[in-house]
Structures are given as structure tokens and as C-alpha cells.
Amino acid sequence: MEFISNRARKGRGARRVSVLAAAATAFALVATGCATGSTGDSTDGAAADGDLSITFIPKQLNNPYTDVVLGGGKDGAKQAGFASTQVVGPLEASASSQVSFINAETQAGTNVIVIAANDPDAVGPALQEARDAGAKIVAFDSDTNPKYRDVFISQVVAKDVALIQTKLISEQIGGKGEIAILSATANATNQNEWIKFMEEELASNPDYKDIKLVAKVYGDDDDTKSFQEAQGLLQAYPNLKGIISPTTVGIAATARYLSTSDYKGKVMLTGLGLPNEMRPFVKDGTVTAFALWDPAQLGYVAAYAGKALVDGDITGKEGDTFTAGDMGERTVGKDGIVIVGPPTTFDKNNIDEYDF
């Protein structure tokens, strides 16, 4: 027995040593990183010589709209002459999730980073670090704080997007009644900007004086959440006449709910949607008309803007011009904003002409 208790005591002593030793080893990771620091830097220089690299960081992966944008981006990057095109990004569209991807690109020595920011400021310091390391930053779809990027590729003028949606809903509900907005995340830069313009327009335009915006809800660009928010809206506001969903995920989920409920054809739905996703709902009468631009063009122009920045053709100041392949010449506007084109309205007459 004494023999055993002796051993046990020894074991405890050893455990204390192990705790200290283990803690020291855990931080050895740091030390190993420092010791071999020089090897990493030497490889970075090679990328800048001839084979240019471009990386797209969307708000989140596996989003149908994003996939179309990225498809155009990849085409554009190939035509513009980038040797390597990558797409990386988070699975959730949360504020800070993009930062580690930007960091990885900085480390990879990528020449152009094209980003749709989930938060205009959270990505800022990381982008600054990437720029310090020589990367050009092109924001697209959703802008960062202007001081952190070279140019912003905007599909359309934000106000036009807002106005076309208020116009569509007003036509559909006959100019009066309660409406609601089902948006993406509560912090999404682009959605919030459109909503702001919509609110201003509803308040100031006499044509819309009988339209009342009763609620703004957020489906977080998540199909299930958007579906449930739509359901909740109709329960909470029995007099609701229309819903505007300025996000492709939200409008598709809401349309799916409406098409299977009693509200089909009674509560109007419009917003920004993808023709391929919305086609069945337009055909079955759930949705009369909605708007969008061709998202592929957005990625396409972004890729060419990135090339022009790397080549030094543009610096992002107002008045710079560059050629965006088949899309022709584009001019950099105020605050480094490049506009791609006006939004298109889709209804049952023209929806079959589009495939994205």
C-alpha cells in the first residue's frame, strides 16, 4: 500500500511538471514561426513578375446570386489576362468572417482582391494591410469604407434600384395600403442604402402618400429564416398588401411561402430576384414583376477594373477610364465608383429571355 501511495505522489509531481512543460510547448508554435520567417517572403516576389493573380471574396459562398456574379468574374479575369483566379469566402455572411480570408490572400501575395464587404469597416484594417503589401482592392456589389479600396464597382446607381422597387410595388398594390420590407442582414451595406432611399421616396413622393411602410424584417440571406420571417409578417400584419424583398434569397423564400398559402395573388411581392429562381412564381401568378441587373456583368467589370489598376492604367480617381472587354469603356466616377448599367424589370413577357 505504501508502495502505491508513493507512486501516486510521484505521479502528481510529474503532473505539475507536465503542466508547465506543456504550456511552454504550446507557445513553441510561436517560436517555430519566428525562426523560419525568412523562407516565406522570398517566394512572394515571383507572383508579381508576370503571372498576375486575382481573388474574389464574396459575402458568402453557395449563394445563387453570388455564383452568377463570380461566373462573370471568372470569365472577365480570364479575358483580362490573369493567370490565376481564385474564389474564397465564408459560409456565413457575418461581419468579421471575411477578415481571415483577406489575411490569407495578403500572405499569398495576391495582386488583386475583389471583395463584396459584409461590413464596410470590419474588413478595413485587413484590406489596409493587403494594400501595404502591394495588392489592389476592388470592391463590388457591397462597398467597403472608401478609404480602404481603390474602386467600387456598382451594378447600378443605388437610388435607381430603390426607385424601381417602390414603383413596382406601388403599381402592383394600386398605390395604397400597408407594405413591408424583407431584407438580408441588418447590417448589409447595399440593402440598407436601398431601404434608406425607399423610405425617403415613400415619404416625399406624393404618388406614394397612401402607402405605409409598416415593418422591416431581416432574413439574413438564409432561406429558412427568410421563409419564417415572411410567414411572421403576414401573421403580424393582416392588412399587408405588399412585400419588397431587395435580396435574391429573401424574394425566393417569400415567393415560395406565398405560392403555397392563401395569400397567393392577394399579397404582392417584388424586389430583386434571379430570373431562373423566380420563373415558376412569375408563371403561377405569385409574382407579377421584379427587378435585377445582369449580375455576371458585375464580376466581369470588376475583373477588368482590377487589371487596369495593376497595370497602372487607372488609380481610382474621378475621370479615369478603362476598357472592360466586351462591355466597352467605363469611367470612374466620384469616390471611385464605377457604374455597370441600369436595372432590368422582369415579368412574364420577358423572363424567358434571361438565363441566370
Partner 1 sequence: MSNTVTTTPALDTSKTLAAEPRGRTGAARLLLGRDAVMIYALLAFVLYGMIAIPRFASPVTVGFLLLDVIPVLLIALPMTLIIITGEIDLSVASIAGLTSALMGVLWAAGLDIGTVLAISLLAGVAAGAFNGFLVAVVGLPSLAVTIGTLALFRGLALVVIGDNAVANFPPELTAFFTSKLGGTGIPTVMIGVVLVALFFGVLLHFTPFGRGLYALGFSKEAATFVGIKVARAKFWLYVGSGSVSALAGIYWTLRYSSARSDNASGLELTVIAAVLLGGVSIFGGKGSIPGVIAGVLLIGTINFALRLGRVSDVVLIIVTGTLLIASVVAPSVFEAIKRWQHNRRLRRSLPQVPASGETNATAPGVQERK
Q: Which is nearer to partner 1, 56 or 152 (CB)?
A: 56
CB of 45 to partner 1, least distance (A): 12
CB of 164 to partner 1, least distance (A): 23
CB of 183 to partner 1, least distance (A): 9
Cell numbers at residue 42, please? Answer: 522570398
Site for partner 1 in 67-96 (CB under 8 A): 86, 88-92, 94-96
Q: Which is nearer to partner 1, 57 or 243 (CB)?
A: 57
Burial of 199 (0-12, 13-18, 19+ CB in 10 A): middle
Q: Which is nearer to partner 1, 104 or 176 (CB)?
A: 104
DSSP 314: -
Q: Which is nearer to partner 1, 21 or 236 (CB)?
A: 21
Reported as type and span, the H/E element at residue 212 is: strand 211-218
| Residues 6+ positions from 106 with CB-CB distance below 8 Å | 126, 129, 130, 133, 135
Q: Which is nearer to partner 1, 95 or 327 (CB)?
A: 95
- d(CA 167, CA 291) in angstroms, rounded, equals 11
Site for partner 1 in 273-312 (CB under 8 A): none
What number of chain residues touch partner 1 (CB under 8 A)?
61
By CB under 8 A, residue 250 contacts partner 1: no
- d(CA 208, CA 331) in angstroms, rounded, equals 34
Could you please report the per-residue DSSP string of 122-178? Answer: TTHHHHHHHHHTT-EEEEESS---GGG-SEEEESS-HHHHHHHHHHHHHHHHTT-EE
Q: Are 274 and 64 in contact (CB under 8 A)?
A: yes
Q: Which is nearer to partner 1, 218 or 346 (CB)?
A: 218
Q: Which is nearer to partner 1, 108 or 327 (CB)?
A: 108
Q: Nearest 5°: CA angle at 306, between 300 and 310?
A: 150
- 291-315 core/surface letters (b: 16 or more CB in 10 A; e: else): bbbbbbbbbbbbbbbbbbbbeeebe
CB of 225 to partner 1, least distance (A): 13
Assign 3-state DSSP to the chain and report helix, strand, coil percentages, each to 5. 50, 20, 30
By CB under 8 A, residue 121 contacts partner 1: yes
By CB under 8 A, residue 107 contacts partner 1: yes
* Of positions 119, 150, 229, 277, contacts partner 1 by CB under 8 A: 119
* Of positions 43, 315, 321, 331, contacts partner 1 by CB under 8 A: 43
Q: CB under 8 A: which stretch of 9-17, 154-162, 203-211, 300-308 binds partner 1?
A: 9-17
- d(CA 223, CA 109) in angstroms, rounded, equals 36
By CB under 8 A, residue 4 contacts partner 1: yes
Nearest to 252, CA basis, from 186, 338, 184: 184
* Of positions 76, 120, 271, 306, contacts partner 1 by CB under 8 A: 120
Q: Which is nearer to partner 1, 30 or 353 (CB)?
A: 30
- Three-class SS of residue 248? helix
Binding characters for partner 1, 184-203, by CB under 8 A (x = yes): -xxx----x-----------
Cell numbers at residue 264, please? Answer: 397567393
Q: Are 202 and 225 in contact (CB under 8 A)?
A: no
By CB under 8 A, residue 2 contacts partner 1: no
* Of positions 48, 51, 83, 103, contacts partner 1 by CB under 8 A: 103
By CB under 8 A, residue 16 contacts partner 1: yes
Q: Are 273 and 201 in contact (CB under 8 A)?
A: no
The residues of the shown chain that bind partner 1, judged by CB under 8 A, are 4, 7, 10-11, 14-19, 21-23, 25-30, 32-34, 36-37, 39-41, 43-44, 61-62, 86, 88-92, 94-96, 99-101, 103-104, 106-109, 119-122, 124-125, 145, 185-187, 192, 218
